[in-house]
Structure 1
Amino acid sequence: MECIPLGSEESAKKGPPENVSSESLEDFIRTLPTREGWSQPMVLYKNYWCRPHLIGKIMQLQDSFKPRYKDIILATQPKCGTTWLKALAFTITNRSRYSFTDHPLLTSNPQYLVPFIEIPDNGRDHTYLETLPSPRLLSTHMPLSMLPPETSSHGCRLVYLCREPKDALVSRWHFENRIVEGSNIELVKAFDMFCEGFSPSGPFWNHCLEYWKESLARPNEVLFLKYEEIKSHPEQVVRQLAKFLGVPLTEEEESSSVAEKMVKLCSFENLTSLKVNQTGGVDHGNKIYVENSVFFRKGKVGDWANHMSEEMAEKLDHVVEQMLKGSGLAF
C-alpha cells in the first residue's frame, strides 16, 4: 500500500494532543498518512481510512457524546444495508406509536429518522443528538474501537450488519461515483484498493472483526447480523431484532402478521416507490450531497457477478478468508 508521504503509520495509531484547537487539529490531520483514489482523499486514523473532515467529528465525540442507558446503536460498514437496517429498527421500536397506513417511513427517508452519530446532515451536528428523548435510536459507520468506551458500560445495545464483501465493494463503487461531482473511479482500481484494505471506514475485514468479536463476548448487548440473512428470512430477523431490542412480538401481533407487515413496509420495493425516496437528499458537508435515491440501488445478493470477473472474485475471496482466518466469521 503506497501512501503520500505526509505522515507516518505511528501517527495514524494515536490521537491528537488533548484540548486540541481547530488549528492544531488541522495540523494533526496533516501528519496522518494520506492516500487518494476514492472520490475524495482518505487519511489513516487509528488504523482506519476516513474522510479528513470526519476526523474532527469523531474526536469531538470521544469527549462530548454521552451514551445513555438503553441507547440503540446501529453499526455498519458503508453500503452494507444501512438504510434497510434503519428502516427495520425504526419500525420495530416504534410500532406502538404509528400505524402502517400513517407511518413516518411513508414521508421520510430512513436516513433522517435514524441519525448518524458522527456524520452531520443538513447542517445538524452531533450536539443535536443530546436533544433526542431516550431511548435513542442512532447509527454509525465507525469501527467499535472509535466509539466512546461508555457504550459498553451504559447498557447500550449494538446491532451490527455486515455484507458479503464482493457485493459491498460493488455497491460502494457505484455510491462513490455518485456522491461527489466529477468522480469517475474505475471498478478495477476500486477493487485493487479494497483488496489492499484501502476503502472508506476500511479495512473492511477489521471493521467486521471488531464487532464480531464483541458479539461473541457480549451476546446480550451486541447482535451481529448478515445482510444475506435478512434477504433470505426477513420475518425471522424481524422477530430476532425485536427480541434483542427488548420489544418482542406479542402473540396478538403474531396472529395479526405484524412481522410480515413490517417487512413489507421496509422492503426495497416499497421504499423505492415512495416519492420521498425519489427526490431530495442529505447534505453531509465537504461537498458531499447524497440524493435520497442514491441510498437505494438494487439491494440484491450476488450482483457482484454482473461486474467482476471470476479471477477478481477468487482473489477477493482469498484475501477475506485469510484476514478472517481463525475468527469463526465467514462469508
Structure 2
Amino acid sequence: MESHFDSHVEQHNEDEFQKSFKEMISTLPKGNSWGLPDHLYQYQDFWFTSPFLQGVLLAQQQFEAQPTDIILSSAPRTGTAWLKSLTFATITRTSYDDSTTPLLFRMPHDVVPFMELDHAHFSANRHLGIPLLATHAPYSFLPTSIIDSGCKIIYICRDPKDTFVSMYHICTRYAKSQNTQPIELDEAFELFCEGVSWYGPYWDHVLGYWKASLEHPDKFMFLKYEEMNEDTVLYLKKLAEFMGCPFSTEEQQKGVPEKIIKMCSFENLSNLEVNKSGIHREGQGNLEIQNKIYFRKGKVGDWKNYLTPKMATQLDQITQQKLSSSGLSLN
C-alpha cells in the first residue's frame, strides 16, 4: 500500500516536473495553432500542443510497459477511433457482445485511453485484462519501457490528402465550439505541407513507425487505412491473430468478425447517442471536446471534394519525395 511519504514524494516530483516543463516550453519555437486555443510547439522536430507534449514527456519518465501490452499508435485523423473500436471489441468479445459492449455508451477514445493523457485509466483497464493503450506520439518519443518490454505495437496510417482534410475539419469544428476563429483551408494546407501540424510533420511520423516495423516485424503491425477499408474482415482476422486472440473456426462460421465490423462501422458508431451528444474529457478545459466532432465521414478519397488538382499534386509530390527511399507508398 502506498504510504503518505510515497505520495508526498510523488507530489514533489510532479511539481518539479511541472516547473521544469513550464521553463522548457517557454524556450520552444511556436507555430500556428490552426485556429485552436492552444499553440503548437516544436520539440525535437515534431509539433505538439502543450498538454500533449507534457503528457508524452511525463509518460517517458513514468510509464512502465509490460510485455503483454498492445500499443495502438497513429498520427491524428488516420483511423484511430476505428482501430480502437475494432481491437477493443475483438479483445473483449468473450466478456461482451454487440448488445453489451462499453462501445455502446462510451466513445472509442474513452474505452482505450491515450498514454499522453490518462495513465490511471489504463492501469484500471490492464487490471481488467484489457492491455490496449493508444498514443499519437512519434516513434522516437515512445517511452523506452515500451521498446524494451517487447510489447506489441499496431500502427495505422492514411493517405496524407485525406489525413489533411480530416485534420482541417476537426480543427475547424473544434475552433467553432471554442468560439475561436477557424483557420482557412489554404492556410492550413500550407502549414500541413511545411510539417506544422498536430504531431507533424506527418511523413516523419509515418516513417518512424515504418522503419521500426521493418526492424521488428514480429512486434509490429503496420496498417493502411485504405487497405483495411477495402477488406476489413481479412485485416480484423490478422489483428486478432497478432494480438494473440485469433478467431476460432466456430467463431468465423458464426460470423463473429463480421458482427464486430458492423458494430464498429462508422455508420453505427456515429449514430450512437453517446457519439452524437456526449463530451470527451469533460471538465478538462481546452481538452474538452464534443464526441460528434470526431465523427465526420470516414470515407476514402473524400479529399477530392476539398482539394484542387494543384493541391493534390503538391501533396503527392511531397509524399513521394519524403518516402522515396523507404519502400513505403501512401497514395
Instruction: Give TM-score, length-normalised by structure 1.
Output: 0.89
Assess, with a 3 A threshold, how the Cα gap between structure 1 residues 37 and 82 changes in structure 2: closer, same or farther: same
Name 2:223's counterpart in structure 1: 225
How many Å separate the matches in 2 of 1:260 and 1:21?
47
Name 1:198's counterpart in structure 2: 196
Q: Are the equivalent residues in 2 in contact too, given 1:53–1:286 (CA < 8 A)?
A: no
How many Å separate the matches in 2 of 1:244 and 1:268?
23
Assess, with a 3 A threshold, how the Cα gap between structure 1 residues 107 and 227 changes in structure 2: closer, same or farther: same
Q: Return the match for 2:280 from 279, 282, 301.
A: 282
> Is 1:174 paired with 2:169?
yes
Q: CA deviation at 1:23?
A: 2.5
How many Å separate the matches in 2 of 1:249 and 1:76?
25
Which stretch of structure 1 is more off in the superposition, 52-61 or 283-292? 283-292
Q: CA deviation at 1:289?
A: 2.1
Assess, with a 3 A threshold, how the Cα gap between structure 1 residues 315 and 114 changes in structure 2: closer, same or farther: same
Q: Return the match for 2:139 from 140, 144, 150.
A: 144
Q: CA deviation at 1:259?
A: 1.2
Q: CA RMSD in A?
A: 1.7
Name 1:67's counterpart in structure 2: 65
How many Å separate the matches in 2 of 1:128 and 1:95?
20
Q: Are the equivalent residues in 2 in contact too, given 1:86–1:111 (CA < 8 A)?
A: yes
Name 1:327's counterpart in structure 2: 326
Name 2:23's counterpart in structure 1: 27
Superposed counterparts of 1:1-331, under 5 Å: 20-38=16-34, 39=36, 40-119=38-117, 125-132=118-125, 133=127, 134-180=129-175, 181=178, 182-283=180-281, 285-331=284-330
How many Å separate the matches in 1 of 2:210 and 2:72?
14
Q: CA deviation at 1:20?
A: 4.9
Q: CA deviation at 1:126?
A: 2.5
Which stretch of structure 1 is more off in the superposition, 83-92 or 135-144? 135-144
Deviation string 1:135-192 (CA, Å, 9 cap, x unpaired) is 5211010011111112122131110000100000000001011223223111101100
2:79 counterpart letter in structure 1: G
Q: Are the equivalent residues in 1 in contact too, given 2:113–2:121 (CA < 8 A)?
A: no
The runs of 4+ residues in structure 1 deviating greater than 4 Å are none
Fraction of identical pairs, as percent:
40
Q: Are the equivalent residues in 1 in contact too, given 2:203–2:319 (CA < 8 A)?
A: yes
Q: CA deviation at 1:101?
A: 2.3
2:136 counterpart letter in structure 1: H
2:107 counterpart letter in structure 1: N
More helix by share: 2
Structure 2 residue runs of 5 or longer lacking an equivalent are 1-14
Instruction: Give TM-score, length-normalised by structure 2.
Output: 0.89
Name 1:7's counterpart in structure 2: none
How many Å separate the matches in 1 of 2:257 and 2:122?
29
